[in-house]
Structure 1
């Protein structure tokens, strides 16, 4: 079927209703129609199977986004769905912990190089915020040097130039942004705030690969200045290796965060780190 032969009528009608009832029209800007080709891209998905999705108008597509990253194994992956359904039948949201928590934690510690201990959360944004708070508590410092997108919370969005409503002006003093592979910029920040930087947080790999020695030199620079290195693996974790991009590139950070593919779309994220750093949470 040619693009101009498809109907998007139901998608477009739903979008009009959404704009009247939902702030910004949807729950996530990157899923909204403004980020896709309007009039060409579907807006609402009815169901998915493996790597394909069907919109509310019945059109079939290959989904290259896969839920913006979480659906690593494909939609309706039987082993995952069967486990989720089985757990629902046994109950959920217990008042106490479940044994599966221990089982999954042991797998993380076994496979993720930076995982001396782990802590589970629900979203990638919560995981990166937790890692930053742990780093600040452990070092007793306030300043954070950050890479690209690390979630929507105040500590990171304070470094942006858009959507600043509700961000405290003083929060901007403690967050400093650099472009991936720009080690010189990170050095400038360390020079400008000597003894004040708690951590550098960056994705281990972005659209562009790390330059030769970038990750190794970044880690050395952090430790030379008494700061921690945090790898945000919410997007790339478990894609390069079961141990994450850190295992693939052979550079172990002090802390790291995982999400999205950690549970094939279920709400789960992970903070992993050295035992002595992670135990700061209990102090």
Structure 2
């Protein structure tokens, strides 16, 4: 299977568009091979440089995708282009459609119990007959995580969607993903709240102009304004540094890969391998 990747900010991101991602997911379902999906936006890129556990969990992903227009813009500015933004919530909706059309079952993990119930009602209305094999809220205690994983594994679900914040969802998948026996595993973050109707997603024009984060701030200014101000500022600074001195890839021990023949040559080699 061809694998096109770009090294950005010390992480290898998969240079795939949405249709290609869905094709990979379908192939994983047919073969019942695990496909762990991870997504990166500007805030998570800033966080992973400080949070080793988050970083290591993301390195467990089979596909790591750009869920942020700013990441796509940065990739093109840096000469290591990603084809498009592949938003986690859009993957979520496409996979729900696939599960409905093919008679697959899903598992849900995350959100508060009442939000989870609303989400199940919405899914039932939009995708009548879609089987929810397992449903677990996200407010379990740390010592209960293994039991939650065991119930998901017992359910026999074809797809697992995790609606928890970072780094909790990445850590759960990085810790238990290999043992769940669920082909498609996808951390969807706040998508549960959006689909359940608790929060609104930004209009398309805001999404295309990379201002979806600002729309979220308008909805929850007291909680989010400082977070986005600080992370966006840090991301701009990191992009400038990446332009001047491209970072080598992280390894699981927190170090960096040894220098090779040069980043441009490495990206060229990866591109040639994919052809």
TM-score (norm 1): 0.29
With structure 2 as the length reference, what TM-score do the two structures score? 0.30
Larger C-alpha radius of gyration, 1 or 2?
Answer: 1
Q: Which has the higher relative contact order, 1 or 2, with Cα contacts under 8 A spaced 6 or more apart?
A: 2
